[in-house]
């Protein structure tokens, strides 16, 4: 796979620039991004909104800690995947959260993944200029 473009050298003249990227490198990058964004999605689905945004600032390192944690009782993850025993554990861990209260996970996901998409688009546009 070859990525190419046109750039200016020091004297203002245009020259062609190409970069060769192997298929293996592309596969590794896609798999890494899939793991990182998958863990981000689990973090948000478990209701850890603050940890999700902290993960945006730490390039996903916080998500690796937040994803295995117990979900909040009002989160989409707890509603879908937890049985009565695990849901009771979640209620004991987060006693101040009302299970019937709506979760902010969807809003956090929309904002966070929108920020990621904007950063990717800005990087692509910056690379073209």
What is the tens place of the pLDDT at every residue in 7-58? 555 555 556 556 677 889 889 988 988 888 899 889 988 988 888 888 888 8
Residue 63: how many CB atoms within 10 A of its CB?
Answer: 25
pTM (2 decimals)?
Answer: 0.67
Tens-digit pLDDT profile for residues 70-87: 999 988 899 899 999 999
Residue scoring higher pLDDT (120 or 71): 71
What angle (nearest 5°) sits at the alpha carbon of residue 98, between those of residues 96 and 99? 130
Q: Where are the domains of the chain?
A: 2-128
């Amino acid at each position: 796979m070859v990525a190419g473009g046109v750039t200016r050298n020091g004297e203002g003249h245009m020259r062609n620039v190409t970069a060769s990227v192997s298929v293996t490198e592309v596969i590794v990058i896609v798999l890494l991004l899939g793991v990182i964004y998958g863990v981000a999605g689990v973090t948000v689905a478990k209701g850890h909104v603050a940890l999700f945004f902290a993960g945006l600032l730490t390039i996903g390192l916080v998500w690796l800690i937040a994803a295995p944690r117990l979900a909040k009782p009002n989160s989409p993850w707890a509603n879908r995947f937890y049985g009565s025993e695990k849901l009771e554990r979640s209620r004991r861990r987060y006693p101040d959260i009302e299970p019937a209260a709506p979760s902010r996970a969807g809003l956090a996901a929309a904002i966070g993944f929108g920020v990621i998409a904007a950063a990717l688009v800005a990087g692509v546009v910056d690379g073209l200029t």
